[in-house]
Structure 1
Amino acid sequence: MPSSATRIVLQQHVTDDDVQGVAWDLDWNAISVSDRKQATWVDAWATMDGATSIHYVHDGPIGMRYFMIRGHDTVGVAQRIVDTCPTWTLANALDAARLATERDDRLTAVYAMALTAPDDPDPAVSIELRRAAADPDPGIRQSVVIATAYLGWPDLVTLVEELQRADPVDDIRHNAGIMLTGLRKYGPGNSPHASPRRWLRRRRNGNP
């Protein structure tokens, strides 16, 4: 994630209506509203002084929702969001990754780790993603490819290169190759090709 932005990731039970309530309670000015028919959509607000922007991303392909905050008071706005509604932290994302047994919970944990991790490599996150890359479930292995698109850490790139070469599932090898190409061209989190919004074949209830 670019260092100029702060990302706040919402827990799964926080609804879109809850987000609208947060915007109202915190006196944000609406800037734009997206088409809810899209798989991924973004609403935008600004603080009353216009110095800080808040974008709410409904990231349908990975089933996650988060705020991206930029501007003068990113720390203050982020803290007010955290004080208002349940959010993921890296610590509880790691706990979820270690403890989850259901498939959807495991996928959510991988994406929560990717979205809450710092810019610099974190060994604890890498350990959990390497464990996920060895999972017999193809969807769990593919989630590692998606997570790497957000993070771009060298050790994870190497891990996805291994999946590209050796994974038994064609879709995973194909998506790994596309992600790696986009990551090298655009950097983590920025590529229209690396982003799961463009290329993820999302089948959370079956194979990737």
Structure 2
Amino acid sequence: MIDSRVQLVLKPENAEGQVVKVAMEQDWELRVMGNRKADVFINVFLTDDEAEVRYTEDPLTGIPFVTIRGAGCAEIAELFRPACVLREFPEALALLQRETDRDQQLLAIGAAANTAPEQPVAELVEAFRALAANPDPGIRQAVVIATGCRPWPELVEIVRGLSERDEVEHVRANARLLLEGLAGQR
């Protein structure tokens, strides 16, 4: 029975190997073995208590993460903390605030959103507001995608502005699509 969910964001260096090592040490069953030729690489493990541990490499952001669903997921997550190199929110926010390289900015946007706490953080909102004005439509698009991870009201307002005023049609369209999806969740 799935009663909770925890997500951990990993740094890319040997992320899969670190996760597989934990799974092997715990003698978890490998339910799905990832295919490197697929659009998204996913390994799925099943714990003795029937919790699902899913390792995913997000091709859009380049961010690997572990999602744990089921009873005892908080305890299972603790097994990964000493064994894996995790990306934490303060580090991701600092990277986002200082990075100027486009690829690194894209990575930092996703990492910051995926590691952010549930409650809004003013520094992240301000960083996203600045990035929403970036001349690169890919950066603005990343802000839209990242807002789907953390749909704080302040970030949703930024996306609303992009949906109405962005100069690039696909950014406006994707912003509208996110807003429609979020409205449907209420």
TM (normalized to structure 1)? 0.80
1:51-108, CA deviations, whole angstroms, 9 ceiling, x for partnerless residues? 4321112221222111111223222221221210111111111111112121111111
Equivalence map 1:69-80=2 (5 Å): 69-80=68-79
Q: CA deviation at 1:10?
A: 0.8
Q: SS in structure 1 opposite 2:81?
A: helix
SS at match of 2:14: coil
Question: 1:7 aligns to what SS in structure 2?
Answer: strand
**Matching residue of 2:107:** 108
| Cα distance between partner residues in 1 of 2:34 and 2:102 | 30
**Which stretch of the first structure deviates more once superposed, 159-168 or 72-81?**
72-81
Report which stretch shifted further, 73-82 or 155-164.
73-82
Structure-2 change in CA distance of 1:144 and 1:88 (3 Å):
same
Unpaired runs of at least 5, structure 2: none
Q: Could you tell me how far apart the structure 2 residues matched to 1:60 and 1:38 are?
A: 10
Contact 2:61/2:110 (<8 A) preserved? yes
| 1:122-141 equivalences in 2 (<5 Å) | 122-141=121-140
Q: Identity, % of aligned pairs?
A: 33
| Secondary structure class of the residue paired with 2:38 | coil
Cα distance in 1 for residues equivalent to 2:11 and 2:163: 31
1:98 and 2:97 aligned = yes
How much is the aligned-residue C-alpha RMSD, in angstroms?
2.0
**Residue type of the alignment partner of 1:11:** K
Q: Which residue of 1 aligns with 2:181?
A: 182
Cα shift readout 1:151-194 (whole Å, capped 9, x = no counterpart)? 1111111110101111111221111111211222247xxxxxxx
Residue matched to 2:31: 31
Deviation per residue, 1:129-155 (Å, 9 max, x gap): 112112222211111000111111111
1:11-30 paired onto structure 2 within 5 Å: 11-30=11-30
Is contact 1:69-1:78 (8 Å) kept?
A: yes
2:93–2:112 CA contact under 8 A, matched in 1 = yes
Structure 1 residue runs without a partner (length 5+): 188-208
Equivalents in 1 of 2:60, 2:185: separation in Å? Answer: 20
**Contact 1:33-1:44 within 8 A present in 2 as well:** yes
Q: Indicate the residue corresponding to 1:192 in structure 2.
A: none
Which stretch shows the higher mean deviation, 67-76 or 86-95? Answer: 67-76
